[in-house]
Amino acid sequence: MFVMTPHLSALAGTDPIPHTYRHDGAGVLLCLWWPKRREWVPQLKLTETFIPWTEEWLWYFEDWLTTKVWAGGGEHPEPSRVLRFARRPARDMACR
C-alpha cells in the first residue's frame, strides 16, 4: 500500500519512517504484513485486510510522530540488511 498524500516524509522531517519499504517511486510504501508468513494472499478481501491494516499503520505512525517509538509491532531488521524493494522477491522482503 502506498500513501501519496499527506506526504509522510515531510511530516517525519529528517527521521526515517519505520515499518516501510524503500522504493524508487513516489509516496511511502507501507509494510503491512509479513510476506514470509503469507499473512495475505490474493483470495483475501481488501476490505478485511489492506484497508484496516493501513488504518492501523497510520494510527501508529501518528503516535510515532510524537513519541519516536514504533509501537505497532512487526519485524524491524537492521537497515544494513534491508535491500532495495525492486530487487527483492516478495517472500524475502523485510521492513525497515
pLDDT at 91: 45
Cα dist from 87 to 21, 84, 92, whole Å: 12, 6, 10
User: Within a domain: residue 19?
Assistant: no
Q: How many domains does the chain have?
A: 1
- Residue 29: strand pairing partners: 2, 21
Q: Identify which has the larger pLDDT, 89 or 2.
A: 2
Range of the domain at 72: 27-96
User: Within a domain: residue 77?
Assistant: yes
User: Within a domain: residue 22?
Assistant: no
Angstrom distance (rounded) from CA 55 to CA 93 = 21
Angstrom distance (rounded) from CA 9 to CA 5 = 10
The predicted-structure confidence for 17-36, as pLDDT tens digits, reads as follows 999 988 888 999 999 988 77
| Cα–Cα–Cα angle for 78, 55, 91, rounded to 5 degrees | 40
pLDDT at 83: 44
The predicted-structure confidence for 32-88, as pLDDT tens digits, reads as follows 988 777 788 889 999 999 999 999 999 999 999 999 999 998 876 554 444 444 445
pLDDT at 86: 42
